[in-house]
Amino acid sequence: MMMEQLEKIREEARRQIEEIDSLEKLNEIRVSILGKKGTLTGILKGMKDVPKEERPKVGQMVNEAREQIESTIAAAQKSIERKVLEERLKKEKIDVTLPARRFEPGHSHPNIVALRELERIFVGMGYEVMEGPEIEKDYYNFEALNIPDGHPAKDEQDTFYINGDILLRTQTSSTQIHAMESGRIPIRMIAPGRVYRSDAVDATHSPTFHQVEGLVVDKGITFADLKGTLAEFARQLFGEDTKVRFRPHHFPFTEPSAEMDVSCFKCGGKGCSFCKGEGWIEILGCGMVHPHVFEMSGIDPEEYTGFAFGVGLERIALLKYGIDDMRLLYENDIRFLKQF
């Protein structure tokens, strides 16, 4: 009776294997016969009902049947895999007579080129590059920078609010506050990053752009240190003959504050269309850190002084490469980007 069952299982397995054409179906047959609930496994479980004197013989028959079925399945698997490979080779055949795909190596975006140049200059002067969150608290973006609610400067930097306390930062100066709150002094850092303001898009404005803010905090820092640092920065960026001038200005977080101009690197300060005949180009804002900003950050303004500055990265790229429209930087026009 058991021999008949084994023979029936072998024949049924052989018939099913001959009809299949995929590895998935072959695996289904393997499970249905040799799996935990398979037909052959069921016979093995029934060995307890076989008389003791017949068990060795029956066990040998079952093992032989298992080996035959496994051998048949293995042969079928090789055959199917060979057919699958042959079909792939036919479909994926490479025509070596076709022209090769043209490979065009990429390169850095003008913004990245300008940023790497700024980082090189300031790191060479001993500055650390620090990054901060683009989603910021209103406190760090405004209040800690001496811009309380109702201050006119807050209206000028109208931004994108997530709720009453969380917003997309309008300046990377918030990173400076985080650095000062850490208590690690002296501080010499620049904070590059993306910022957001509710500005209409035109040749010189965008709702999203990039800034590089700088901060120095230590004992005995003066405005002379600020002027010397930024003058050296301008010379390394625009050329050794570049001159700088500082004009009084107002920023809530610095006192005194100034706008810095550089002599036109196109005409050497003589006056041309690039500098609109003035011989000077406005490049950044700067000043000595306001004592109240120090106090809110936990730094004693009687013991420490410092200076801060901020420059628009896109402005540097526009000036350095003679680009007259900021929108060109974001349109991803290959014809434009290839020039850099």
pLDDT confidence of residue 55: 65
Query: Per-residue pLDDT for 156 more than 70?
Result: no
Provide mean pLDDT across the span 131-139. Answer: 92
Residues 221 and 275 reside in one and the same domain: yes
Long-range contacts of 260-269 (CB under 8 A, 24+ apart): 260/230, 260/234, 260/284, 260/285, 260/286, 260/309, 262/234, 262/238, 265/238, 265/239, 266/322, 268/241, 269/243
Sequence-distant (6+) residues with CB within 8 A of 286 are: 226, 230, 246, 254, 257, 258, 259, 260, 307, 308, 309, 310
CB atoms within 10 A of CB 202: 10
Residue 212 lies in a domain: yes
* Comparison of pLDDT for 140 and 34, the residue scoring more: 140
Residues 328 and 254 reside in one and the same domain: yes
pLDDT confidence of residue 273: 74
Residue 58 lies in a domain: yes
**Quick one: which of 22, 21, 41 has its CA closest to 31?**
41
Residues 81 and 117 reside in one and the same domain: no
Residue 125 lies in a domain: yes
Residues 178 and 280 reside in one and the same domain: yes
Provide mean pLDDT across the span 276-291. Answer: 90
Residues 70 and 126 reside in one and the same domain: no
pLDDT confidence of residue 46: 63
pLDDT confidence of residue 286: 94
* Comparison of pLDDT for 327 and 53, the residue scoring more: 327
Q: Which of 57, 91, 125 represents a domain boundary (last residue)?
A: 91
Provide mean pLDDT across the span 55-80. Answer: 76
pLDDT confidence bin for 207, thresholds 50/70/90: confident
Query: Per-residue pLDDT for 202 more than 70?
Result: yes
Query: Per-residue pLDDT for 149 more than 90?
Result: no
pLDDT confidence of residue 216: 96
* 90 token code pair: 């036919």
pLDDT confidence bin for 13, thresholds 50/70/90: confident
pLDDT confidence bin for 61, thresholds 50/70/90: confident
- Total domain count, the chain: 2
Q: Which of 91, 124, 152 represents a domain boundary (last residue)?
A: 91
Residue 105 lies in a domain: no
* Comparison of pLDDT for 30 and 257, the residue scoring more: 257
Residue ranges making up the domain that contains 324: 110-337
pLDDT confidence bin for 16, thresholds 50/70/90: confident
pLDDT confidence of residue 268: 72
Query: Per-residue pLDDT for 96 more than 80?
Result: no
Residue 99 lies in a domain: no
Residues 135 and 80 reside in one and the same domain: no
pTM above 0.85, yes or no: no
pLDDT confidence bin for 51, thresholds 50/70/90: low
**CATH code assigned at 188:** 3.30.930.10
Q: Cis peptide before 256, with omega less than 30 degrees from 0?
A: yes
* Comparison of pLDDT for 272 and 285, the residue scoring more: 285
Residue 151 lies in a domain: yes
Q: How far is Cα of residue 127 from the mean position of the Cα atoms in its chain?
A: 23
pLDDT confidence bin for 292, thresholds 50/70/90: very high
* Comparison of pLDDT for 69 and 304, the residue scoring more: 304
Q: Which of 63, 91, 119 represents a domain boundary (last residue)?
A: 91
